[in-house]
Amino acid sequence: MTQTAAGQPLLEVTAVTKSFGALVAVNGLSFNLNEGEVLGIGGPNGAGKTTLFEVISGLSPATSGSVRFAGEDITRLSAEAICHAGIARTFQLNAAFDSLSVRENVEVAAQFGRANRAVPGLRLDRCTRASVDAALEITGLIERQRRIAAKLPVIDRKLLMIAGALATEPRLVLMDEPVGGLTPGETDRIVHLVERLRAEGRSIIMIEHVMRFLVQLSDRVLILHHGEKIYEGVPRGLVQDAQVVDVFLGQGASRRLASYLEGRA
């Protein structure tokens, strides 16, 4: 893992544009993330949030612009190389090998995350097994590690994706809608997990439509609209920003969020 020089951001996204033919999904976007920071990303459907994750994680490279991680230019690296550099992600839609057990799914992820695989195939070395155990432990999936992924409830499938990401020992975790579709009680479990990850010093970027979740956990929030940044700042400022209220939150949600933020002050 490369070290980040003092004062240098961990992630630097500079003038990133991602086009699909005539459609510009991300448009000249720039922002930084410091080590240990939790950044929340919100915005209407189709704003380009997931596309931004595709670009950062190397699944779909930027049309133009650059992404630097720990001082290294990762713009054109493969998804595997970016994972080895220390970035892992979860997906908006549940992604798992349905016929494998919870543990086997996390093992596959851990093996993908190993830059120097000591043994070929899926025979894991001690270090990789320890990463799998730690990921199952922190997500609370350890008791259900023998369950088949297809049979898991939605919350456990979300936790499984996070466990897979953590098993690659990332310095930066990207989470795409980690609480979408969960009950308030289940959402609280993800809140506690993110708090633990933050306490471990991991850097996190989360996309979420559930604004209470986002403002509760984020040091800073970024709101995208038509692929562009319309807000970047502390969560509290969101409800005072006329454009954010107008194109994203709406008056009602904005008032509810404002009183929630008041209650937490």
Which residues would be at the binding site for Mg ion (CB under 5 A)?
Answer: 49-50, 92
Q: Look at strands 172-176 and 203-207 and give their pairing.
A: parallel
Q: How far apart are CA 52 and CA 62, in angstroms?
A: 9
* Minimum distance, C-beta of residue 49 to Mg ion, in the bound complex (Å): 5
- Member of 3, 5, 6, 45 binding ligand ATP (CB under 6 A): 45
45 binds, among Mg ion, ligand ATP, none (CB under 5 to 8 A by kind): ligand ATP
What angle is formed at CA 235 by the lines to CA 238 and CA 233, rounded to 5 degrees? 80
For the chain, the 3-state helix, strand and coil shares in percent, each to the nearest 5, are 40, 25, 35
Closest CA to 161 of 100, 91, 255, 209: 91
What are the tokens at 155? 């919350």
Q: How far apart are CA 183 and CA 220, in angstroms?
A: 25
With respect to ligand ATP, which residue has the nearer C-beta, 41 or 136?
41
- Member of 28, 36, 46, 237 binding ligand ATP (CB under 6 A): 46
* Minimum distance, C-beta of residue 50 to Mg ion, in the bound complex (Å): 3
* Minimum distance, C-beta of residue 226 to ligand ATP, in the bound complex (Å): 9
What is each CA distance from 6 to 38, 169, 185, in whole angstroms? 18, 22, 39
H or E segment and range at residue 205:
strand 203-207
Q: How many residues are listed for the chain in this entry?
A: 265
* Minimum distance, C-beta of residue 135 to ligand ATP, in the bound complex (Å): 25
* Minimum distance, C-beta of residue 53 to ligand ATP, in the bound complex (Å): 8
Please tell me whether residue 139 binds ligand ATP under the rule CB under 6 A: no
- Binding marks (x or -) toward ligand ATP, 81..100, rule CB under 6 A? -----------x--------
28 binds, among ligand ATP, Mg ion, none (CB under 5 to 8 A by kind): none
- The interface region with ligand ATP, picked from 9-17, 44-52, 101-109, 151-159 by CB under 6 A, is 44-52
- Given a contact cutoff of 8 angstroms between Cβ atoms, the answer to whether 51 and 25 are in contact is yes
Which parts of this chain interact with ligand ATP (CB under 6 A)?
20, 23, 25, 43, 45-51, 92
